[in-house]
């Protein structure tokens, strides 16, 4: 099993700059890779009982080099429930979550 990575960007109101940086870096790495459809980043807004949502970013295993740039930590494969694709090929859904009918 390949390792996924997670980074908590904190308050959703303050996460947009980091999300843009992640997206740009993934796109630049993807141009030099044969596995771009397996290089994806997903996000989820999670409240965890707090007043403000936290933005959690999930990096697919092929995006591990980018994950490490942002000090993401290893995690289990995320549940597809309420995930959004930040950057990556739309076929990423079928690759990583074939059981999840979108």
pLDDT digits over 90-101, tens only? 888 888 998 876
Q: What confidence score (pLDDT) does residue 11 get?
A: 84
Residues 76 and 39: beta-carbon distance below 8 Å? no
- The residue with greater pLDDT, 37 or 47, is 47
- The residue with greater pLDDT, 72 or 102, is 72
* CB contact set of 65 (below 8 Å; sequence gap of 6+): 29
Averaged pLDDT for residues 29-48:
76
Q: What confidence score (pLDDT) does residue 53 get?
A: 82
Q: Whole-model pTM above 0.85?
A: yes
Is residue 73 predicted with pLDDT exceeding 80? Answer: yes
The beta strands (E) that lie in 1-102 are given as 4-11, 41-46, 54-59, 73-75, 84-87
The sign of the CA dihedral 70, 72, 77, 80 is: negative
Torsion of CA 21, 27, 32, 34, to 10 degrees: 130
Query: Which of the 8 DSSP states describes residue 86?
Result: E
Q: What confidence score (pLDDT) does residue 38 get?
A: 82
**Given its phi and psi angles, is residue 78 left (phi above 0), alpha (psi -120 to 50 degrees) or beta?**
beta
């Amino acid at each position: 099993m390949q390792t996924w990575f997670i980074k908590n960007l904190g308050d959703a109101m303050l996460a947009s700059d980091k999300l843009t940086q992640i997206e740009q870096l993934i796109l630049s790495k993807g141009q030099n890779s044969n596995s771009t459809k397996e290089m994806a980043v997903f996000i989820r807004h999670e409240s965890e009982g707090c007043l403000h949502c936290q933005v959690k970013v999930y990096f697919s295993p092929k995006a591990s080099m980018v994950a490490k740039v942002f000090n993401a930590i290893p995690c289990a494969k995320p549940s597809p429930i309420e995930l959004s694709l930040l950057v990556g090929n739309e076929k990423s859904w079928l690759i990583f979550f074939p059981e999840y009918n979108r």
